[in-house]
């Protein structure tokens, strides 16, 4: 809900695909360094508390942005600044979130658990964007509906923080290294010397840069085919992606006993890029909706299978750092991909830009 609202605000204020790309850059910059630091902290400190405090910080940022919006003084740099600091908090939040749940389950149920955990993000994308779209289009004047959506996101983050406060976990094995830099280099060296980890993380980065970054251009494609990028049409596309992601996560999670996971990952990654090429040349909006569903389902099939493989192989004392690198898919790779895609779309058009990007995603998946 928050990202869709921020995208709508930027596009409403500027009408520029390049500005949508800058939104991704603002989110990526803090993640370049802090995601690795967040992984180190997740291996050293109480993951529950780290997750709780970072979520509270994000709630405060969304409240500030909502207040600026409803006051009628919102400018583009306000949105970019809040997205920047939100990216910093996400860099600490994501490794902790990914590191907690494997310690709550039996390892033989890992793939099913990863599938269930992976339904959270696409699940919220189903109804949250629709709610945000209705608020944007029908509440108050100008940007007041967007402000209401941001206040709602801030409140939900506070509720989540309070729920974390009530949770008590059994002790988890921590890393034995003393220095933060030593822990960071150990984690990087551990991943670099494991071919499977490197392949999965690099493929995830490729999917994010050349594939998942296409969400940056959703307002552009909506305006192209519908004449305007209203909150409702944008929410419909985003929700279709949520339903697709949920479908892909459930399907991959149900295959917990499958042995040839490599073929499932390859199929998901290749199909993701191919569907985005079709998305780029779709002549009508309702085809976009269906293709967004299929693209998200394919992406989640790869993601769930790859994450379950990582969780099944990595020891607890390295889990935070490994998942911190994996988390850079969302906090760094996808936003940077949004920047390059927005700049390319600004230069040669959204259709050509996405065809090129989707083709790169397919080539990298096959080459890996």
The gap between the terminal CA atoms of the chain, to the nearest Å, is 34
φ/ψ region of 171 (left if φ > 0, alpha if ψ in -120 to 50, else beta) reads beta
Predicted confidence at residue 169, as pLDDT, reads: 63
Predicted confidence at residue 152, as pLDDT, reads: 92
Predicted confidence at residue 66, as pLDDT, reads: 94
Q: Using CA atoms, how far apart are residues 327 and 32, in angstroms rounded to an integer?
A: 11
Domains of the chain: 2-166+180-367 (1.20.1250.20)
**Model's pTM, two decimal places?**
0.70
| Cβ(251)–Cβ(244) below 8 Å | no
Higher pLDDT, 63 or 29: 63
Segment 130-139 shows an average pLDDT of: 82
How far is residue 76 from each of residues 7, 9, 64, 225, measured CA to CA in Å?
Answer: 11, 8, 14, 26
For 118-164, the DSSP string reads TTHHHHHHHHHHHHHHHHHHHSSSTTHHHHHHHHHHHHHHHHHHHHH
pLDDT digits (tens, 9 = 90+) for 98-116: 767 666 666 566 666 666 6
Higher pLDDT, 147 or 254: 147
* Tokens (6 digits) for 181: 């830099």
Chain mean pLDDT for the chain: 82
Residue 180: is its pLDDT beyond 60?
Answer: no
Q: Using CA atoms, how far apart are residues 105 and 115, in angstroms rounded to an integer?
A: 13
């Amino acid at each position: 809900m928050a990202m869709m609202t921020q995208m709508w605000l930027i596009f409403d204020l500027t009408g520029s695909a390049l500005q949508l790309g800058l939104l991704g850059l603002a989110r990526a910059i803090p993640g370049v360094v802090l995601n690795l630091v967040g992984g180190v902290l997740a291996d050293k400190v109480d993951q529950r508390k780290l997750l709780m405090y970072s979520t509270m910080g994000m709630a405060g940022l969304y409240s500030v942005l909502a207040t600026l919006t409803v006051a009628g003084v919102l400018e583009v740099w306000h949105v970019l600044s809040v997205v920047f600091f939100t990216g910093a908090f996400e860099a600490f939040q994501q490794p902790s979130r990914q590191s907690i749940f494997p310690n709550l389950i039996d390892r033989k149920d890992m793939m099913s658990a990863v599938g269930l955990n992976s339904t959270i993000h696409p699940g919220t994308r189903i109804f949250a964007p629709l709610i945000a779209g209705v608020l944007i289009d029908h509440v108050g004047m100008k940007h007041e509906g967007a402000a209401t959506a941001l206040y709602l996101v801030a409140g939900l983050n506070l509720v989540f923080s309070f729920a974390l406060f009530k949770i008590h976990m059994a002790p988890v094995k921590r890393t034995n290294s003393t220095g933060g830099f030593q822990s960071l280099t150990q984690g990087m060296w551990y991943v670099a010397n494991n071919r499977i980890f490197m392949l999965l993380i690099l493929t995830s980065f490729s999917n994010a840069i050349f594939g998942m970054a296409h969400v940056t251009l959703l307002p552009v494609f909506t305006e192209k085919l519908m004449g305007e990028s209203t909150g409702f049409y944008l929410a419909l596309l985003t929700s279709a992606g949520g339903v697709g992601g949920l479908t892909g996560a459930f399907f991959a999670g149900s295959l917990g006993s499958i042995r040839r996971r490599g073929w499932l990952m390859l199929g998901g990654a290749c199909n993701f890029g191919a569907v985005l090429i079709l998305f780029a040349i779709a002549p009508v909006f309702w085809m976009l909706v269906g293709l967004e569903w299929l693209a998200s389902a394919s992406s989640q099939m790869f993601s769930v299978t790859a994450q379950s493989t990582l969780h099944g192989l990595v020891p607890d004392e390295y889990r935070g750092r490994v998942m911190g690198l994996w988390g850079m898919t969302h906090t760094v790779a996808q936003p940077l991909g949004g920047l390059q895609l927005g700049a390319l779309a600004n230069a040669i058009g959204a259709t050509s830009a996405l065809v090129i990007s989707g083709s790169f995603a397919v080539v990298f998946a096959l080459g890996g």
